[in-house]
């Protein structure tokens, strides 16, 4: 919908303050990087990276400068005269990335742009993407299943889960929490987010409220902070079993998450 490939059913989409709901994709000034490259097979690497600039009538010298700078950043200088068929999967992915970053687009859309790179190159490319973002300053929407990428690159993260469509027709994405990496890590909104963020993941277990403690089925006790103890008493959970409790140790700080019947502490 942001790219204009699907219609927006309701609401407004604004880019740089301008409503673009009815604008064609080519007129939205968006640069995109897809997991499956989407390169022109009959063009060289150089021409693939320069194509968008030529369409926008950039000067020849400016095009050459931008392409060669991007190629140097991405380690593609020696491949500029090759065609996509002569490249590995990781090299093609870098060409797709290069084709986007040569532009000064208003919005960058990146869908798993590092998924086909090896581990070492993925780490260096994360750093390069961060540098490019700081240099260009454009809004970037970055889709990834890799939480390391999300936590290291993002200013704000939208965590989504897959759920059944109410009308029974397939699945839809549901937003579980929006926040900065630090907010998601320190204050997860629910059990899904708490179990999703962090490696290794949090442990969850059942416990009963007894006095100022939570007592697990195996007898293990956790002393409750005063605020949580009073809140549980006020809500009538003293002596009752909670559906789940999780503990996460972060250096000298222990985070305790208690799930009531329909609520979170």
pLDDT at 262: 45
pLDDT of 27 higher than 60: yes
pLDDT of 90 higher than 90: no
**Gap between the Cα atoms of 96 and 129, Å rounded:** 13
- What token pair was written down for 50? 């320069």
Residue 264, by phi and psi: left (phi above 0), alpha (psi -120 to 50) or beta? beta
Query: For residues 157-173, b (16+ Cβ closer than 10 Å) or e, as one string?
Result: bebeeeeeeeeeeeeee
pLDDT at 49: 94
Residue the block writes with tokens 């579980």: 176
Topology of domain 203-259, CATH: OB fold (Dihydrolipoamide Acetyltransferase, E2P) (2.40.50)
- Pick the range with the lowest mean pLDDT from 39-43, 149-153, 239-243, 249-253: 249-253
Average confidence (pLDDT) over 36-47: 87
The rounded mean pLDDT for the chain is 83
- Pick the range with the lowest mean pLDDT from 37-46, 85-94, 100-109, 229-238: 229-238
pLDDT of 30 higher than 80: yes
pLDDT at 60: 94
Q: CB neighbours of 211 closer than 8 A, spacing ≥ 6?
A: none
Query: How would residue 135 be classed by pLDDT, with cut points 50, 70 and 90?
Result: confident
**CA-only gyration radius of the chain, Å:** 24
Q: CB neighbours of 80 closer than 8 A, spacing ≥ 6?
A: 44, 45, 46, 67, 68, 71
pLDDT at 265: 46
CATH of segment(s) 14-155: 3.40.50.300
- Pick the range with the lowest mean pLDDT from 15-24, 25-34, 40-49: 25-34
Average confidence (pLDDT) over 149-174: 87
pLDDT at 92: 86
Cis check: omega of the bond before 139, within 30 degrees of 0: no
- Give this prediction's pTM: 0.71
pLDDT of 6 higher than 60: yes
Domain with CATH 2.40.50.100 in the chain: 203-259
What is the CA angle 30-34-37, rounded to 5? 120
**Gap between the Cα atoms of 224 and 229, Å rounded:** 6
3-state SS of 130-165 is HHHHHHHCCEEEEECCCHHHHHHHCCCEEEEEEEEC
Contact 253, 247 (CB under 8 A): no
Average confidence (pLDDT) over 104-108: 86
When comparing pLDDT for 264 and 236, which is higher? 236
Domain with CATH 3.40.50.300 in the chain: 14-155
- pLDDT tens for 215-263 read 887 778 888 888 877 887 777 777 776 655 555 544 455 555 555 544 4
């Amino acid at each position: 919908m942001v790219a204009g490939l699907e219609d927006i059913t309701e609401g407004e989409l604004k880019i740089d303050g301008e409503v673009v709901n009815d604008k064609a994709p080519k007129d939205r000034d968006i640069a995109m990087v897809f997991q499956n490259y989407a390169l022109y097979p009959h063009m060289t690497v150089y021409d693939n990276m320069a194509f968008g600039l030529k369409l926008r009538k950039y000067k020849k010298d400016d095009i050459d400068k931008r392409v060669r700078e991007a190629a140097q950043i991405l380690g593609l200088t020696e491949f500029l005269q090759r065609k996509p068929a002569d490249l590995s999967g990781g090299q093609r992915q870098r060409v797709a990335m290069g084709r986007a970053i040569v532009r000064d687009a208003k919005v960058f859309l990146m869908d798993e742009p590092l998924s086909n790179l090896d581990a070492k190159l993925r780490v260096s490319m994360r750093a390069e993407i961060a540098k490019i973002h700081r240099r260009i300053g454009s809004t970037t929407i970055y889709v990834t299943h890799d939480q390391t990428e999300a936590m290291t690159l993002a200013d704000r993260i939208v965590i989504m889960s897959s759920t059944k469509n109410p009308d029974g027709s397939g699945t839809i994405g549901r937003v579980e929490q929006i926040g900065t990496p630090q907010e998601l890590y320190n204050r997860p909104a629910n059990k899904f987010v708490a179990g999703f963020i962090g490696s290794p993941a949090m442990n969850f277990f059942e416990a009963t409220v007894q006095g100022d403690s939570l007592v697990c089925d195996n007898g293990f006790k956790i002393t409750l902070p005063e605020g949580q103890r009073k809140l549980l008493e006020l809500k009538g959970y003293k002596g009752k079993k909670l559906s789940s409790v999780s503990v996460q140790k972060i250096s000298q700080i222990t985070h305790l998450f208690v799930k009531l019947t329909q609520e979170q502490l």
